[in-house]
Structure 1
């Protein structure tokens, strides 16, 4: 059903929500490169660079101030293990420089290829079409690659740790657990560590840290589980003296601990704050052990990221990169610390920080195309929600130097996906698109988001569709009470799991919202549960409950089942090749609202999947969404 757009043609360009701006939808979605998997090897810095114009991720090398593309034409480096990938390449230095090789997972067939960097010769070293690989780690003493292997077999999916030799040999190192993550070797190759867990646990609820001894042939001769309980481990590392260290949230936050071979555990000095987000992907590094008892650490405080060097014995701390507010993918060559960072004016950059002087240089990444005077800056949002509990987010006031207004602006609420994820106070040009036009934006980290400790993250257990919605409604009340927004002009949008929160908010919110947008949003969690993959097979049960013993929850929390309670106009965007949120979910939701006389509009893209990638489609979404909202201003 197409909604009449006559009211969107009003000429009052000074009314908030209708401000004119030269910052177009195309500008807002003009994709810039993104980076991941930084590592130092063979006297160079390496990373994975996603190039939107090509639609592929490439291995890059930076040496002596020069950057070159390593991945050959026709290939792309991207793992799809657990669907979210990570750890898509590693470097195997040779005895001499010309022998340096890169092992990478090719996106098209998910097999591991070995590429000679100088000669550019390419060899396929796995030949299992039904397998995927990720979490690659170089075993230098034995010239092989350690990896998480995902086998798609008839009726089941199995995971294991394997070693793949440069001669294409294959050896199984560990199997039997449901999931494996983050294999890492000690410098001398004598010790191996990894994370594993079994269903129904998730990578951020309860996992095991494993430590193994390897013989000369690289076989596991002895393996033990580090003593643990209701905790989630991530990002294991070995010190130069072979002490196993790892982030764990046993103290309430993901902070580094050291574990001796006899089982003793010591918390390393630092802030009581999360030093990592939830481990959806392999190969993340948000902390790093350096020489002489120094650690490089990143953590979040109130949603803002910090980076510092900290001494493990004296607790001396040196803060770094003050102008940035998110840090990931740390690595070091002994002279400098490298990381991927973001700020309120930059979505992603590769930084080099001298370990002696602290001098910072940017190797990659650009600032916003908007001038600094035009950028809406994030303000920390801290407010009380249901039961007097605290909720978090970021508020962006309207910003356009050509416009002024004394009246409170309309509000657009962003609900992030995941939902065990987070939003960050860094440049998001989609937000700037709205603030340029006179909307205030609140980007919510509702209870259940990461970055605020284990207890906050666990609040969504059994509470999805309730707790997050309470935080949405409380944010509106808080901002209205502060007279920061016009409470009569509130809009809400979300994609995937954020779309679910959005639709649930419409059910609970009555006439609170003027209009909403769902981008490939979940409208029936039971349908999502039926088609999800192994990594998330128990996720819906964790978020809502067991449908066999608590079926009423799935009725109460299904926007589709509760569609008669929605009176808010909604615009839907759906990719017809989406295998996560099937198009039928959106079609049913659109039909239900239409039958109930609710103004509804649906936009579909024949060649898009779960998460739109084409710039033209992303721009169309913003333009259609803006026109739809203006119909209800």
Structure 2
């Protein structure tokens, strides 16, 4: 074993290998005997391909070159396609029009081109039983800024361009229109500013013939999601009315009754449309994903009401879908990337439908996370996943401890999962520890924990990040003099706020498209998040003083640590102006700073070359500011760090 400084270890987990793991799987549908899913492929310019698996295992890419099944509804998308009877409907990224694709044919648009390109956006659809019509979400951009956007549910012909019939209009946001098996009812979700879908959401059902409507669940203080009709006419849905997102069902003559009640979250924050965390099988068995202590698990509720965990290795689960008396899902483990599987819960038989990528990496290079619960501000507790440095060929010098990279998720309602992330292993295999912080406000720990960030963004999350590294350093697990913090989007804001804190313990940090000026963010961001900060900070402009006080740019005099800033040029969520603001301020004050602006990227990097460059540039940056050499054999191009050595 070679003794070498932490951070300088050679590793087979390169940025090119991380790129192989960047293919995102999701959006499962079972269509007869076939299984259909989406693959977001960075190597193909980030486009989303739809893949069909025939019963004999044959895989077929359905979309022709130049088309991508991705919607810009809410800017975060999701629910961009659906399938019935072999026919695919999808929103195409380039023009945002809705297309129909018959088997063996070419895609044909079924929505008219808007007056302004990409002004009409479509998502989250459901096809009628007879296949003649579709109900879906339409987002119309008819004017400048967030106030010029209208969200509604419409009905359109499934096979030709026609005039949409508006079914639901008025609420600020609508989602998940779902038709009952007999076509007599439609369920949907709706909410209004300043609420977000994890705050206050209503679930409604309309009798299509009479127009009579029923509020099934939701309202003030209750988040409802994932409505899904069952063969017996019941409507299942998730609700957090008892702190946890658990499963319920509704029938007109019996009302709402619980299906799964457990002290764990079945749901996740609905940043995207079309998510699915449970599936009801033909025999009435319910298979569901539940998050507990930093990891997902599969569980089952049998028809007699018994709930039991399934003995399966998966720690990250999504896109659950019924396939007869089996369930199909996307699943990953701490040592394997995401794949697609079919599981018979009665027998335990597991079939691989889409193998996860096989990187040829020895298990000895993979750091398996440990779930931490530790004390933080105001006498509260916070949570994190700790990945120790791991490399079978290297060890650090005697008496030295590893540097740490705190990872702050987005949202800030996201959450860290203990599934394989080669982007984390890139760091741990080089001698860094990684701490994936699930600060107050994260999902997966119940509504009360999620609501603990209300009015406290920029305070509680920063406290939890600083408390995590202080707790680890006090126990001799990381080097308290070489603490770094990295975050994207909302996590980028937390990283900047932590670096600008007067008592910051961090020696350097990474800002990926984070918010530097909260006032500017409120003015410039898109409709979906235009009132998000009302709950996280306070109503604007009434609490303008708080917005100013909690903006990292306000405390630029205290931000003296080196920062690398990574930004997409076409980001509509956090515009490039936010990154330029912090970079210009650091340049002007002589603080070491590196800045990379990636042309053509939106909110989050999707192009293969940019994913690789961002990761390697960040490693080069930390090597320069923390003082370790990168392995020459890896050929990593150094990033320019301005003001270094001043």
Q: In the superposition, relative to structure 1, how do residues 316 and 469 fare at CA in structure 2: closer, same or farther (>3 Å)?
A: closer
Is 1:523 the equivalent of 2:516? yes
| Cα shift at 1:13 | 6.6
Q: How does 1:371-390 map to 2 (within 5 A)?
A: 371-390=362-381
Query: In the alignment, which residue of structure 2 is the partner of 1:397?
Result: 388
1:592 to 585, 588, 610: 585
1:123 to 96, 108, 115: 108
Q: How does 1:572-591 map to 2 (within 5 A)?
A: 572-591=565-584
Partners of 2:452 and 2:173 in 1: how far apart? 24
Partners of 1:273 and 1:534 in 2: how far apart? 31
SS in 1 for 2:274: coil
Of 596-605 and 135-144, more deviation after overlay is shown by: 596-605
CA contact (8 A) 1:13 1:19 kept: no
2:87 to 101, 108, 111: 101
Which runs of 5 or more structure 1 residues have no equivalent in the other structure? 1-11, 94-99
* Aligned length, in residue pairs: 610
Q: Deviations over 1:567-588 (max 9, x none)?
A: 2111222233333333332222
Q: How does 1:162-311 map to 2 (within 5 A)?
A: 162-165=154-157, 166-169=159-162, 170-215=164-209, 221-229=211-219, 230-262=221-253, 264-311=255-302
| Cα shift at 1:378 | 1.0
Partners of 2:77 and 2:575 in 1: how far apart? 22
1:549 to 533, 542, 545: 542
Query: In the alignment, which residue of structure 2 is the partner of 1:471?
Result: 464
Partners of 2:404 and 2:411 in 1: how far apart? 23
Is 1:421 the equivalent of 2:414? yes
CA contact (8 A) 1:473 1:509 kept: no
Query: In the alignment, which residue of structure 2 is the partner of 1:485?
Result: 478
| Cα shift at 1:511 | 5.2
Q: Deviations over 1:168-211 (max 9, x none)?
A: 34322222211111111222222211111112211110010001
Q: How does 1:48-67 map to 2 (within 5 A)?
A: 48-54=38-44, 55-64=46-55, 65-67=57-59
| Cα shift at 1:368 | 4.3
| Cα shift at 1:623 | 2.4
Query: In the alignment, which residue of structure 2 is the partner of 1:15?
Result: 5
Q: Deviations over 1:566-620 (max 9, x none)?
A: 1211122223333333333222212322333322222333443332223322222
Query: In the alignment, which residue of structure 2 is the partner of 1:349?
Result: 339
Q: Deviations over 1:240-294 (max 9, x none)?
A: 2212221000010110112231573222233221101111111111012223331
Partners of 1:509 and 1:44 in 2: how far apart? 57
Partners of 1:275 and 1:368 in 2: how far apart? 31
Partners of 2:202 and 2:393 in 1: how far apart? 56
CA contact (8 A) 1:182 1:282 kept: yes
Q: Deviations over 1:465-515 (max 9, x none)?
A: 101000011101110122111111111111221111011101225351221
Which runs of 5 or more structure 2 residues have no equivalent in the other structure? 627-646
Query: In the alignment, which residue of structure 2 is the partner of 1:5?
Result: none
CA contact (8 A) 1:195 1:210 kept: yes
Query: In the alignment, which residue of structure 2 is the partner of 1:154?
Result: 143
Query: In the alignment, which residue of structure 2 is the partner of 1:87?
Result: 79
| Cα shift at 1:114 | 1.2
| Cα shift at 1:369 | 4.0
| Cα shift at 1:528 | 1.1
- Provide the alpha-carbon RMSD of the alignment: 1.9
| Cα shift at 1:380 | 0.7
| Cα shift at 1:212 | 1.4
Q: In the superposition, relative to structure 1, how do residues 268 and 87 fare at CA in structure 2: closer, same or farther (>3 Å)?
A: same
Q: In the superposition, relative to structure 1, how do residues 227 and 398 fare at CA in structure 2: closer, same or farther (>3 Å)?
A: closer
Q: Deviations over 1:125-174 (max 9, x none)?
A: 11142311000111123521111011111351111111111243432222
CA contact (8 A) 1:183 1:193 kept: yes
Q: Deviations over 1:108-129 (max 9, x none)?
A: 11111111114x1432111142
SS in 2 for 1:53: helix
Partners of 2:298 and 2:231 in 1: how far apart? 22
Q: In the superposition, relative to structure 1, how do residues 314 and 542 fare at CA in structure 2: closer, same or farther (>3 Å)?
A: closer
Partners of 2:613 and 2:621 in 1: how far apart? 12
Q: Deviations over 1:275-327 (max 9, x none)?
A: 0111111111101222333111111011210112212533143515x211011
SS in 2 for 1:470: helix
SS in 1 for 2:130: helix
Partners of 2:167 and 2:572 in 1: how far apart? 32
SS in 2 for 1:221: coil
TM-score of the pair, normalised by structure 2: 0.91
Partners of 2:498 and 2:326 in 1: how far apart? 47
Partners of 1:544 and 1:316 in 2: how far apart? 39
| Cα shift at 1:391 | 0.8
Q: In the superposition, relative to structure 1, how do residues 72 and 626 fare at CA in structure 2: closer, same or farther (>3 Å)?
A: closer
Q: In the superposition, relative to structure 1, how do residues 50 and 632 fare at CA in structure 2: closer, same or farther (>3 Å)?
A: closer
Partners of 1:436 and 1:122 in 2: how far apart? 45
| Cα shift at 1:422 | 1.4
Q: In the superposition, relative to structure 1, how do residues 104 and 227 fare at CA in structure 2: closer, same or farther (>3 Å)?
A: closer
1:113 to 93, 99, 103: 99
Partners of 2:600 and 2:272 in 1: how far apart? 26
Query: In the alignment, which residue of structure 2 is the partner of 1:96?
Result: none
SS in 2 for 1:83: coil
Q: Deviations over 1:532-585 (max 9, x none)?
A: 111111112221112322222112111111100112111222233333333332
Of 171-180 and 558-567, more deviation after overlay is shown by: 171-180
CA contact (8 A) 2:518 2:548 kept: no
2:432 to 431, 434, 439: 439
SS in 2 for 1:133: strand
Query: In the alignment, which residue of structure 1 is the partner of 2:68?
Result: 76
CA contact (8 A) 1:226 1:263 kept: no
CA contact (8 A) 2:31 2:83 kept: yes
SS in 2 for 1:460: coil
TM-score of the pair, normalised by structure 1: 0.92
